[in-house]
Structure 1
């Protein structure tokens, strides 16, 4: 019975602190978690050739995008994949 108890403990669902999805230890692979390793920022982008969709109340010098990949949609799929990370992990 000890083996079964340990197996059940391994299958406890956790919540990933990066992508907020539920996962189990056995389903956690190197491509399970999709996230942005940087922040969604509002500032002038170094790439002056790129067009950014601006809102009417945005300052003319600001653009909103993920600093890691340039995605302009705050709901954009992450640009990086890795293992899920639990809130319990340090």
Structure 2
């Protein structure tokens, strides 16, 4: 197995969207998969979807990503783009 050079290691960045470590020279338009909105706990705006609530849950305790409606907090992102470093403006 080939080890990364010190220069390669210094070049690595952390994506502020998906938190992955990436090489800016290998960044691609679909490299970063992320949710464009937050995971929220409130009534869904469209009121068209119904969420499974546990018996002790208060009404409107629906939890989902506001961007795509995914109810699993670990659901893969619904958007793709280039990675964006914390060092980028």
Within a 5 Å distance, the mapping from 1:18-33 to structure 2 comes to 18-33=17-32
Distance in 1, matches of 2:87 and 2:76, equals 24
* Structure 1 residue 46: Cα displacement: 2.5
Question: Structure 1 unaligned runs (5+)?
Answer: 1-7
SS in 2 for 1:87: coil
Provide the alpha-carbon RMSD of the alignment.
1.7
Is the 2:41–2:60 contact (alpha carbons within 8 Å) kept by the matching residues of 1?
Answer: no
Distance in 2, matches of 1:55 and 1:20, equals 32
The size of the alignment, in residue pairs, is 82
The alignment's TM-score, normalised by the length of structure 2, stands at 0.81
SS in 1 for 2:25: helix
* Structure 1 residue 59: Cα displacement: 1.1
SS in 1 for 2:41: strand
The alignment's TM-score, normalised by the length of structure 1, stands at 0.80
Question: Structure 2 unaligned runs (5+)?
Answer: 1-6
